[in-house]
Structure 1
Amino acid sequence: MVLALGSEAWGQKIMQNWTPPRGAVESRVLSCTNPAPLGRVAFDDWICPQTGPLIRVCWYGVVLTPGQLALGRRYYVAIYSHGGVCGPANLLYQTCVTPDYRRFCGFDCRQRRVFLFSAPIPPPVFTQTVGTHYWLQISEEDATSARVGVEDFRWSAHLPIMNACATQSPFPPGCCIPDDCPNPILVDLTFHLSAATIAGTINLTARIPGAPAIFQMRLLTPAGDLVESMCLETDDGGNYWLAPEAPDGTYAVEVIGMGMRPLRGTVMIQMGMEARLDFPNVFYGNLDGDMDTDLADFQLLQLGFTGSL
């Protein structure tokens, strides 16, 4: 049985995913302490569906050098009030975030690798109010980027346009901006904003770098009734994050998939909090990521141990 989720369900506040193969736009500041634009900075908007704190931000983007994927690269995040005609008005909140999740998602119109980035928002967090129109800025911090003084990141596009179209400062005529594809079109930008999350690592032994690791996480009541089922995909480091829609409470957790024995645990979901749930040293059978455990996986296991088939 799947339980109905009432008004106390929080989870994902807003979700705008990358739309393949759309391109990206420039968004870069000097530093988090001095967020002066370098070139152009980009903004997109949302209307709050439910009052609550924002504890994690995610976005899609392209990196213009592999070094930008290294740990410690920071991004400037700011929230503004709505400007009325188009674009942001007053600064309401600003912070600096460091992604703890980065996963390859595909290639864009210029054959650049697109990644999904996710980062916890450090306290104090921003609390949004239902029905309010906000603008979000996500920008590469040049001071900690791979090549200081050079653009290393672009923010990926989303379609269809939601609310107002995305824009950049300095604001262009008509406010709307195109992506950087060879045949550009007006676009929105990508972001997720979450009020309650589950995050952790699934440490997979013998994983092939770059191969997908896709699981299903199930939240269950103490009686074993299914409350919610979510797709879980780790990055190359085994990191994951999810934004459940289940109401606040304590749940039994079951993670299945990839030809492994079920992983089990317990998690407490609470608005404004990120629950941590780690699974160390997990062996799974589907080593080649083709969603089937077969002879090919056994051959890869033999190759890993002996160096030959």
Structure 2
Amino acid sequence: MAKRKQARPWDAVFDQIQVRPRPRLPEYVYPAPVTDVELDELEAHLKCRVPESYRTFMKRFGPGEAADLIRLPPLGVRDEGDQNLIAETSACRGKFLNRRPEYLPPNANAAWLGRLVYFGSDFCGRTYAWDPKDVTHKRGNEYRVYCLRRMEEGDPEDRGETLADLIQGVWAEQVRGIEEDGGEKPTGIDFKPWNPVREKVKPDRDDVKRWFAFNNNAARDLAFSIRYHGATDTFPILADALEEAGCTSADLLNSCRTGDPTTDGVWVLRVLGLIFGRR
């Protein structure tokens, strides 16, 4: 009998996360979840292990905004723009290690602040970091997580032993505020993917006509079933039919197979000419 997978401390929190794409046009491609190879490259750059809770989160959800507040940027091991973990960590470490003592925030420990890994931030001027020398769980290689307020870094706030503790704590604060205002408790923790990386490549109209005509209109009939009968569960089958008809559009096929029917599916039907709107 196969061994039952042992639950980890952060599983219960991550299972409550609901991915909710930002209000967006569905023709954009968003960052994919992070791979082990990329996380290994990050470890090599930082010269320390990344916490297992962080590794699990980024592989499952990728960069984005958790609990409507915590911004977890791309790693920075690829060409991911200026906003990334490596760039933020380098800038913050340099800010404290290279600044003259009289210009540091009150009670700031420059050596300690200069060794932290700055993995996130929010829109209130706060930065989130873990201390690679303060191990909280050896098995998962977890580090203590801190919240640092701008110009108050000398008074760090302990936010828990794992990334899940931070997310759970921020979410709990939000729930209390909503309930105090008489609102309804959210059903889960929202997660919004990071900014789009590019616009999807649309197939040519003549190609669509050819794919639709192939095999007695098999792909066309599937697309019609989705459009007019709401059979969104057949999007993966539509991808197979399109591919068999000669479609090589990665964006179109991926939108059918792994995309959200309410967002990516809209784009699919639009470029296939079954709904009107921006093509």
Q: Which protein has the bigger helix share?
A: 2
TM-score, scaled to structure 1: 0.24
Larger Rg belongs to: 2
TM-score, scaled to structure 2: 0.26
Determine which structure has greater relative contact order: mean sequence separation of CA pairs < 8 Å that are 6+ residues apart, divided by chain length: 1
